[in-house]
Amino acid sequence: MKALFLAILITPLFSSGVSAEPLKVFRDCDVCPEMVELPLGEFMMGAPDDEFRAIAYFTGQGMQRATPENPFVPENEGPQHRVVVDIRIAMGKNEVTFDEWMACVNDGGCGGYTPPDTIGPNGTLEGIKRALTDPRFIHTPSEIDIAAVTGNPKKLLLSGRYPLNRVSYLDAVAYTQWLNQKLGTDAYRLPTEAEWEYAARAGTTSRFAQGFEPRPEQANISGEFTELELQQERLDLRTLGHPVPVDELDAANPWGLRHMSGNVGEITLSCYPADTKHLPVWGTTREWLIQSVDDSCDRVRRGGAFSRGMFRARVAWRTGIAETLRLQSFGFRIVKEIE
């Protein structure tokens, strides 16, 4: 596998601006994820210092609050720097779903692992009830289904087009290996965090692809947790306390990629190094891919989740996760290298 990644060094370097044309969407088989072919280009990776002012945050010592005199500037999201996208890829339009994962399991792949199909509401049951009854909120089909079929409100049923969760980095790699074997290719893999951020930004430079803040119908994040982060009441926000199917909500960014912020967080190929938490300054996505080759390391996760607030759903947010850890708030999406 390492030799395969290093071999891409011999391919020529490409560079172009971000395309405004409609992007090609395809699916390589009837059980394969739908893919969006991204343009080559470049972007500014990371976050500027002033993105974090007046935001409360959590540390090992509890919650801290930033002030103009003492702003919170996470070192792991900078320095901001230019990255050239020189490997043509298609990115999964959605997070990998339960149905797509079970196609792998039923075909003898993915280690035969069947993730639990229930999820706890993370102490936000009142938020779920509020979202179902408050006329300010959009009532999605998944909310109505949960209200109708859930006998135990502490356990919500997930399946079908819900995003897969409770899978680890190693599980995600097993899925891409099965997909490559099924299709007779080696083109599918997890995205590096540079590729993930490029796709999530979709040519934008703001905190979210949708602007300074996404509207409640654009991102499935926790309004209750956001209120804690901001230390203020935000009645305009909502808390579902559960993922929604990947086709729900107005969650697409300008390139048609859905739920890049919120719903479930996403595991990437990139290592989260133990010796430094600063954002690496590698200048091309090719170099990011090469540097991601490691036999074992903590991996970077991106995109926030339904159970966390707006701060962690920003495009620049990043943290590490152990390769074997399975969390109910995290899944993954895939990329395909395009020849």
Q: What does pLDDT average to in each consecutive run of 10 residues of the chain (339 residues)?
A: 36 39 90 98 92 64 69 84 98 97 97 82 53 59 58 61 94 98 98 98 96 93 87 84 89 97 97 84 97 89 93 94 93 96
Q: How, if at all, do strands 330-331 and 265-271 pair?
A: parallel
- Please tell me the class of the 2-337 domain: alpha beta
Q: How, if at all, do strands 265-271 and 35-37 pair?
A: unpaired
Q: What's the confidence (pLDDT) of residue 299?
A: 96
Query: What are the residue boundaries of the structural domains of the chain, listed by start?
Result: 2-337
Q: How, if at all, do strands 81-85 and 41-45 pair?
A: antiparallel
Distances (CA, A) of 103 to 138, 178, 248, 290: 32, 10, 22, 30
Q: What's the confidence (pLDDT) of residue 14?
A: 34
Q: What's the confidence (pLDDT) of residue 62?
A: 66
For 92-144, give the DSSP string. Answer: ESSPPBHHHHHHHHHTT-GGG----SEE--TT-HHHHHHHHH-TTS---HHHH
C-alpha 314/C-alpha 87 separation (Å) is: 24
